[in-house]
A and B are shown apart, each in its own frame.
Chain A
Amino acid sequence: MLNGGEDGREARWAAAMLAARGGDAAAYARLLAEVAATLRVFAATALRRTGLEARDVEDVVQETLLAVHLKRHTWDPGRPFLPWLRAIARHKAVDIVRRRGSRGEVPLDDVADTLSVAAPEMAAPVERFLAALPSRQREVVTALAVDGASVAETAHRFNLSRGAVYVALHRGLAALTVMFGDWDKFK
């Protein structure tokens, strides 16, 4: 499913990434949503074989999305997008399997189908980590992500400059990534 470019996904996603590089946040959000749906299938297939639980699927999806975002400068527009995405998803899946103390390879290459899997209605792990963020970062991430506030509204609500909102958001996202890495402390 992350292997094929037959359906034009490679070209479409690469174009969306380029648009995102140019600052097109709407195209970026659409891309991430599409990527998340595909990752969900990928993770469900990969994790089922290692005997991990269903809640790990959304972990893989969210951690991969965060890494795609924070490491997006490591994608070279002159190279294909899907291998880059696949490498990140594999890295995160392996990481989660390793952290949960389960051994064994994550078999990705024979992941076959593209069945769509509905987003599970469970509390995703980011919830637990949010609570551990410094308050400014937590407020900003929550306002933007959960409440759906715009940057301008968030800036107004917390009496911050737009720049300060972005800084808090970016630091918060980076901190969330670190917390995923130190999973055991939060169990």
Chain B
Amino acid sequence: MKTDDLIRALAADLDGMSPRNALRPLWADLVLATAVMAVPSFAVIWFGLARSPHLAHGLGLTLGTTVAAAGLLGAGALAAVAAAARPEARLRTGWAVIPALLMAGGIVVELARAGTGGWWQRLVGDQPLACLACVFLLSLPMLGGMLLALRRGAPARPRATGAMAGLAAGGFAAAMYTLHCPEGSLMFIAAWHIPAILLVASLGAWAGGRLLRW
């Protein structure tokens, strides 16, 4: 087929699609997919897991910092992913210092308040691996939804974009998981939730390298 023939076919294809569908902005898909796929994870936490005892005391340091840092991580990464779906865009990472500083600041405040006594117990908690596994598993539906939506995109760096989607999914999952998480220390959150999120990001990078090529 000559290039002129190809152009004729492409122009013919233009008529065939309703502009509404063909030109639907990708970020809308992305947000919708994330929201829809958050539902099963939320339902598992809400109906399947015990409510965190810390909720009764309102937004304390641990709960407030975790929700804010994880939520910001999720929102920032999702915005970065939405932008990275355009081929000419750069993957923005600078915003990530905000949740990181929040978390670090929260830990400093906790240590100042409670001292370093019993730090090992606070760091390791009761069931660290269960928390790690939960955050990881609860983020998978959102990661899947994002990657599916991203297949319409044209990211210049598929693996990095997939990793960023993993950070977004992990961040949102960690934020939701505070509804259940029985542990009361930010050091525990940092020691077990962050590795879970990084695992999701690695999985996202792996999957992105396969699914997001174009």
Contacts and interface: CB of A to CB of B under 8 A. Distances in A.
B26 interface: yes
Contacts of A167: 16
A130 B1 contact: yes
- Chain A interface category by residue count: 35 or more
B101 to A, nearest CB: 31
Given A71-B154, A88-B154, A28 B11 contact: yes
A23 to B, nearest CB: 6
B87 A25 contact: no
Contacts of B213: 181
B186 interface: no
Interface in B9-56: 9-17, 19, 22-26
Interface in A49-98: 58, 61-62, 65-67, 69-76, 79, 83-84, 86-88, 91
A83 to B, nearest CB: 4
A28 B19 contact: no
Question: How extensive is the interface on chain B, given as a class?
Answer: 20 to 34
B8 A69 contact: no
Given A67-B214, A124-B2, A28 B9 contact: no
Interface of A: 20-23, 25-26, 28-29, 32-33, 36, 58, 61-62, 65-67, 69-76, 79, 83-84, 86-88, 91, 119, 124, 126-127, 130, 141-142, 144-146, 148, 150-151, 162-163, 165-167, 169-170, 173, 177, 181
16 contacts: A26-B11, A29-B11, A36-B7, A66-B6, A69-B13, A71-B87, A72-B22, A73-B26, A79-B86, A84-B86, A126-B6, A141-B1, A144-B8, A145-B8, A150-B12, A165-B16
